[in-house]
Amino acid sequence: MVLLIAIAYSSATIQGQQIKRKGIQKYVSRIKEYGRTERRHSSFYIGLYGQTWVNFKEICMDMVMELMRLNCNKRKYYQQGLRAMRLIESVL
């Protein structure tokens, strides 16, 4: 059981580090805030929530496409998010 937990922790941490290296951490969690001496979230947190974010994509992709169609002036931002999602998926 401990070995399984260690493997899961290591996997999420490595994925979080890869997300940070690709520069898309800001889409998964808040980055270091002004006036804060320590970073806000660990690589483990980022890896874990990156996976959750991708799972959420599967649920709401139709809604995102509809919003892109309705809000043409915000399309650039939706496309940035979709690009980040693809990069996160490539890590996972």
Question: Is the separation of the CB atoms in 9 and 48 below 8 Å?
Answer: no
Question: Is the separation of the CB atoms in 31 and 20 below 8 Å?
Answer: no
Specify the number of domains making up the chain: 1
d(CA 49, CA 15): 10
Residue numbers of the domain that contains 52: 2-91
DSSP summary character for residue 74:
G
Q: Which two tokens stand for residue 43?
A: 């690589």
Q: What is the pLDDT of residues 26-77, one digit of tens each?
A: 777 777 667 766 667 788 888 888 888 888 888 888 888 888 888 888 888 8
Q: Band the pLDDT of 6: cuts 50, 70, 90.
A: very high
**CA 58 distance to own-chain centroid:** 14
